[in-house]
A and B are shown apart, each in its own frame.
Chain A
Amino acid sequence: MTRVLLTALIHRALLLGGAWLALTSAALEALAPGAVAVAVAVWLSLRLLPPKHPFALWRLARHVPRFVAGSVVGGVDVARRAFSPDMRLNPGWLELPSDLPDGARVALGGELSLMPGTLSAGTEDGKLLVHLLDTDAGFDRAIPREAEEIAAIIGQARSARG
C-alpha cells in the first residue's frame, strides 16, 4: 500500500467516523453498526475518488482561518453593496491560467466563490474563469496566494505566479 493511499485512508476514516459520532451522539449501541458503515463508506470513497496526490492535513488546518476570515469579509462586502443605493458594481471576467489538477482546481474555485468579490465558473481551455463583482476593487490580488496554498496542501510546492 502506498503512502498516498494510506494517508487518504486514515483521513477519510477519521472524517467519516467523526461524522458518524456526531450524527449518533456517540451512543454506545450505535458503535458496532458505525464501524461497518464507516468501513464501507471509506471503501466506497476510495473507489469513487481515488487519491492521486499527497495531502498535508496540517497545511489545510493552517489554511482554514484565512479562508473563514475571507468568507466573512466576502459576506460583509456583498451585504454593503446590496444595501447601498448605487451598489457600486463593475462586474467583469478574469481568465486565470492554472496548472492545478482537477480536484484542486475545483477546491480553489469553491474557495474563491466564498471569498470577497470572486466567483468561479469552471474552466475553459485549461483556464479558470473567474467573475469579479467589481473589477476596480482589486479582488483578484488574493487569487495567486490561494492557488499557492492549495497547491502546497497537495504537495505541489512551486513559485508564486498569477
Chain B
Amino acid sequence: MADLATYLLTGLGLVFFIAGTVGLVRFPDQFSRLHALTKGDNLGLGFIALGVAFQAESWAQLAMLALIWVLALLAAGTVAQLVARAALTEQDKP
C-alpha cells in the first residue's frame, strides 16, 4: 500500500518537473517561463517529497522532509518575485 503511494506520487512529481522544464523551454517570454518554473517545479518537489515520505522509517525523517518542502515553498515564492523584478529592470542587450 505504501509502495503504491510512492509509485503514484513520485510519478506525478516527475510529470510536474518535466512540465516545468518544458514550459521553461517553450514559453515565449521570460515572465511566463518563470510561472512555469516556479509553479511546476515546486509542485514536482512537493509530490516527490510526499511519495518518498511513504518510505520513511521514523518521524525524524518525515520531519526533515516536511522542513525541506516548507523551505522550498517559501524560497520559491520569494525567489520568483526577485527574479521577476530583476528581469523587469534588466537593461536590453543588443
User: Taking A71-B43, A78-B19, A133-B35 as contacts, is the C-beta distance between A121 and B26 under 8 angstroms?
Assistant: no
**Closest Cβ neighbor of B24 among chain A residues:** A82
When the two chains form their complex, are residues B74 and A22 in contact, meaning their CB atoms are under 8 A apart? Answer: no
Interface membership of B28, Cβ < 8 A: yes
Distance from B92 Cβ to chain A, minimum over Cβ atoms (Å): 17
Task: Please measure, in the bound complex, the distance between the C-alpha atom of A76 and the C-alpha atom of B80, giving whole angstroms.
Answer: 18
When the two chains form their complex, are residues B64 and A23 in contact, meaning their CB atoms are under 8 A apart? Answer: yes
The number of chain B residues with a CB under 8 A from chain A is 39
Interface membership of A91, Cβ < 8 A: yes
When the two chains form their complex, are residues A114 and B23 in contact, meaning their CB atoms are under 8 A apart? Answer: no
Residues A35-89 near B (CB distance < 8 A):
71-72, 74-79, 81-83, 87, 89
The number of chain A residues with a CB under 8 A from chain B is 35
Residues of B within 8 A of A106 (CB): 78, 81
When the two chains form their complex, are residues B16 and A131 in contact, meaning their CB atoms are under 8 A apart? Answer: no
Residues of A within 8 A of B67 (CB): 19, 22-23
Interface membership of A119, Cβ < 8 A: yes
A-B contacts besides A110-B81, A113-B80, A120-B84, 14 pairs, CB < 8 Å: A22-B66, A23-B67, A25-B60, A71-B39, A71-B73, A74-B43, A78-B23, A89-B28, A89-B32, A91-B32, A113-B81, A121-B31, A122-B81, A131-B35
Would you give 25 A-B contacts (Cβ < 8 Å), ordered by A? A22-B63, A23-B67, A25-B58, A26-B60, A74-B43, A75-B16, A75-B40, A78-B20, A78-B35, A79-B15, A79-B43, A81-B36, A82-B19, A87-B27, A106-B81, A109-B81, A110-B74, A114-B38, A114-B39, A114-B73, A114-B80, A120-B81, A121-B87, A131-B31, A131-B32
- A-binding residues in B (CB < 8 A): 15-16, 19-20, 22-23, 26-29, 31-32, 34-36, 38-40, 42-44, 58, 60, 63-64, 66-67, 73-74, 76-78, 80-82, 84-85, 87-88
